[in-house]
Amino acid sequence: MTDTAAAAPLPLAGIRVLDCATFIAAPYAAAILAEFGAEVIKVEQPGSGDPFRRFGTPTPRGDTLAWLSEARNKRSVTLNLRDPKGAKLFRQMAAQADVVCENFRPGTLEKWGLGWDDLRAVNPGLVMLRVSGYGQTGPYRDRPGFARIAHAVGGLTHLAGMPGGPPVTPGSTSLADYMSGLFGAVGVLVALRHRDRTGEGQQVDIGLYESVFRVLDELAPRHAYEGTVRGPEGAGTLNACPHGHFACADGHWVAIACTNDKMFERLTRAMARPDLAERYARVADRLADRETVDGAVTAWTGTLTRAEVLDRCLTEEVPCGAINTIADIAADPQFAARGNLLTLVDRLVGEVVVPNVVPRLTATPGRVEHLGPELGEGNAEIYGKLCGLTEEELAAYRAAGVV
């Protein structure tokens, strides 16, 4: 990154976001906006704050590493939204905001006088991101939802695991939260573009399960077209072979992906097995005898170290990659060259390593300016600026449990 790019004004500078959500999905959308210059005010329950502060590995500060990483670039204020006085303060702030991010169960904010109609009345141009388990409509709208439930309902869990075995968690238990946050950030940006053209705000409505369902390639059209119900496929896939995970002689694993005939021909050259290229020249041939093909690749990788497999595959331009642990990632030169791991310093914790900003922009790259904030650190400044509260008024609100 050049000094000019690092100093360039960020593209979302001037956008103000109120993040009154908890845990990951909607807060992650707000964090993405913050990385590109939006002013994000994290609105938290007095005394306890967002429960995500206590999710994961604790630090000497009292907040977890997860909080320090995922609440990056935000300011924190405390506010009891259930208290009518707290709700009034929130409406005052919403009147001066561009975006509100929330993930309460549908109807909750409405009970507190903070629903869409209430906030739109004070700010017709407001964009409101609403993330919940099942969205704001439908027969399941009132059900509680978490990422693990979204993986199950959205169809992903059924595909994970080994054939004949139990369904398993597809990687991170928080995957649906992060996916929904990404979709949420896209929705907010599109809505802001519309607002800039028309002056009209709108809601962005996401159910966690919908984000999962959206990324399952041909699952829906294939079922509608021919009635196929796909099940767990283990380390491989029904559509290509060899296309999976293979153990090496040193105990490490690699992923190899041969999605077409040319890729397989290259792999057979790396394996020095021209007989396989001749016998299994077409995808259909390989799929019809998957066990033999995968077995041959497994036998080959089992005689070599991971480094040797990678070298031979990459020499022949076969898509192959190490199955990395986080320790592998920390030592990987590609991650280092791209700056994918960022080190910041917290005054109480010291150095903290977090994932860097994605996506990478050349002219206006996002940046992480600070880790997750301490609870309520912005109360005096933000309430003074947005609500005009004096120190005495703030103290009275604090004594009453409003902030």
Six token digits for residue 277: 């290229």
Q: How much is the pLDDT for 154?
A: 97
Six token digits for residue 94: 């919403």
Q: How much is the pLDDT for 245?
A: 96
Q: Do 52 and 200 share a domain, yes or no? A: yes
Q: What is the pLDDT of residues 300-345, one digit of tens each?
A: 999 999 999 999 999 999 999 999 999 999 999 999 999 999 999 9
Q: Does residue 229 form part of some domain?
A: no
Q: What is the pLDDT of residues 221-280, one digit of tens each?
A: 999 999 999 999 888 888 899 999 999 999 999 999 999 999 999 999 999 999 999 999
- Domain span at 277: 243-330
Q: Do 305 and 205 share a domain, yes or no? A: no
Q: Which of 243, 244, 251, 245 is nearest to 304 (CA)?
A: 251
Q: What is the pLDDT of residues 146-205, one digit of tens each?
A: 999 999 999 999 999 999 999 998 888 899 999 999 999 999 999 999 999 999 999 999
Collapse the DSSP code of 155 into the 3-class scheme (helix H, G, I; strand E, B; otherwise coil) and give the result.
coil
**Element holding 17 (H helix, E strand):** strand 16-19
End residue of a domain, out of 299, 330, 361: 330
Q: How much is the pLDDT for 238?
A: 84
Q: Are 240 and 258 in contact (CB under 8 A)?
A: yes
Q: Do 303 and 353 share a domain, yes or no? A: no
Q: Does residue 139 form part of some domain?
A: yes
Q: Is the pLDDT of residue 7 over 70?
A: no
Q: Do 205 and 154 share a domain, yes or no? A: yes
DSSP 169: -
> Residue 324 is part of a domain; what is its CATH number?
3.30.1540.10
Q: Do 25 and 101 share a domain, yes or no? A: yes
> Residue 58 is part of a domain; what is its CATH number?
3.40.50.10540
Q: Does residue 225 form part of some domain?
A: no
End residue of a domain, out of 280, 305, 330: 330
Q: How confident is the model at residue 1 (pLDDT cuts 50, 70, 90)?
A: very low
Q: Is the pLDDT of residue 2 over 90?
A: no
Q: How far is CA 351 from the centre of its chain?
A: 23
Q: Is the pLDDT of residue 21 over 50?
A: yes
* Residue 18 φ/ψ, nearest 5 degrees: -100, 115
Q: What's the mean pLDDT when you consider all of the chain? A: 96
Q: Do 19 and 72 share a domain, yes or no? A: yes
Looking at the structure of the chain, the number of domains it has is 2
Q: Do 40 and 172 share a domain, yes or no? A: yes
Question: In sequence order, what are the beta bridge partners of 76?
Answer: 42
Q: How much is the pLDDT for 3?
A: 45
Does the pTM surpass 0.85? The reply is yes
Q: Does residue 74 form part of some domain?
A: yes
End residue of a domain, out of 309, 330, 351: 330
Catalytic residues: 177
Q: Does residue 228 form part of some domain?
A: no
> ∠223-227-229 over CA atoms, to 5°?
65
Q: Do 75 and 208 share a domain, yes or no? A: yes
